[in-house]
Amino acid sequence: MSIDQLAETAQAMVAPGKGIIAIDESTATIKKRFDGVGIECTEENRRAYREMLLTTPKLGDYISGAILYDETLRQSTKAGVPFTKVMMDAGILPGIKVDMGAKPLAGFPGELVTEGLDGLRDRLKEYGRLGARFAKWRAVITIGEDMPSGTCIDANCHALARYAALCQEAGIVPMVEPEVLMDGDHDIDTCYEITEVTLRSLFGALYEHNILLEGTILKASMVVSGKDCPEQAGIEEVAELTLRCLKSAVPATLPGIVFLSGGQSDEHATAHLNAMNQMGAKPWPLSFSYGRAMQSAALKLWSKDMAGNVKSAQDTVFARARDNGLAAMGQWKKG
């Protein structure tokens, strides 16, 4: 894929009023979700669930891409149509999660570094052949006593940059995700400070690794109060501080930013995005790349009758996509 094609794909990922659905849960993570609603975590049940999501009628009206797990990228509908064909026919770009998860950072108790660079070049070639147009790598930054360390931030951002370079070499758009976790009792100002430092480190590392920013997407966490903080910031404050933080640390040449929901409620994730998009001109489009905030209601419905509730579950997925698509334009209204 040429430089122009990388840029074109990145722009398509953040097309006006569209966002990305994250259905890239590992087998262990999807098992926890299935256990929570009483579904056995078999390969067929996972396939059927992903088919329900990806074949939602008119999903492409509000969804530009879907991040898949390795297993899902290789799967097909019950009728034998590869998921990647179903997606491309609906105007939805196939993406793939390529990291191997966050592991303890040696020498820094309580901190994590994401692994998965070994063998990534060959995996990316295969994913490209299977139809992946973009990839995702998630780094995890924990706020706590004397955390995060500069070493943890820089180690994760260095890995993100190496991953991004391998993606662009393979003609795949890298989505870089440095998630600052909501876990903890820290206030919103602490989250702002850590998020800004992390983003500055990330874009410094991307620059050092000769990353084409025009062919890169940032998946960002919002600046929010820790979930155990006694004082929770309101919708407008979250939107204002998140926007200020991004403007201070993210180059304007980036084609767009998509947000993760990161444990927020469905409504809060939508309301925060909507409020940001009502705050005037920005250097880049702001959209969404939600997982739980797109799927949780549909999963509960589908679990009650996997064969009989497909349509009602899909209606719920479409409604969440539509609400967040409107929020990406600043046009969502509660209720």
How far is CA 140 from each of CA 42, 80, 151, 160, 215, rounded to the nearest angstrom? Answer: 28, 37, 13, 11, 23
Band (293; pLDDT cuts 50, 70, 90): confident
| 106-154 confidence digits (pLDDT tens) | 999 999 999 999 999 999 999 999 999 999 999 999 999 999 999 999 9
Band (334; pLDDT cuts 50, 70, 90): confident
Percent of the chain with pLDDT over 90: 93
- Average pLDDT, rounded, for the chain: 96
Look at 266 and 114; give whichever has higher pLDDT.
Answer: 114
| Selection from 298, 303, 287 nearest residue 64 by Cα | 287
Hey, what's the torsion of the CAs at 226, 228, 231, 233, to 10 degrees? 40
Domain presence at residue 193: yes
Domain presence at residue 335: no
Band (172; pLDDT cuts 50, 70, 90): very high
Q: In terms of C-beta density within 10 A (0-12 exposed, 13-18 middle, 19 or more buried), how is residue 3 classed?
A: exposed
Measured N-to-C along each axis, helices 266-277 and 235-249 cross at an angle, to the nearest 10 degrees, of 60
Catalytic residue among 51, 111, 177, 196: 177
CA angle, residues 58, 62, 65, in degrees to nearest 5:
95
Task: Report the helix count and the strand count for the chain, using DSSP H and E.
Answer: 12, 10
| Boundaries of domain holding 301 | 3-327
pTM above 0.85, yes or no: yes
Band (53; pLDDT cuts 50, 70, 90): very high
CA angle, residues 152, 158, 160, in degrees to nearest 5:
105
Q: Is 177 a catalytic residue?
A: yes
Domain presence at residue 334: no
pLDDT of 1 reads: 64
Domain presence at residue 333: no
Q: Is 219 a catalytic residue?
A: yes
pLDDT of 183 reads: 95
Q: What are phi and psi of 63, to 5 degrees?
A: -120, 125
Query: Total structural domains in the chain?
Result: 1
Domain presence at residue 189: yes
| 211-254 confidence digits (pLDDT tens) | 999 999 999 999 999 999 999 999 999 999 999 999 999 999 99
Section 267-295 average pLDDT: 93
* The pLDDT of residue 335 is above 80: no
- CATH number where 323 lies: 3.20.20.70
E strands of 35-92, at which residues? Answer: 63-68
| Selection from 256, 286, 255, 287 nearest residue 3 by Cα | 255
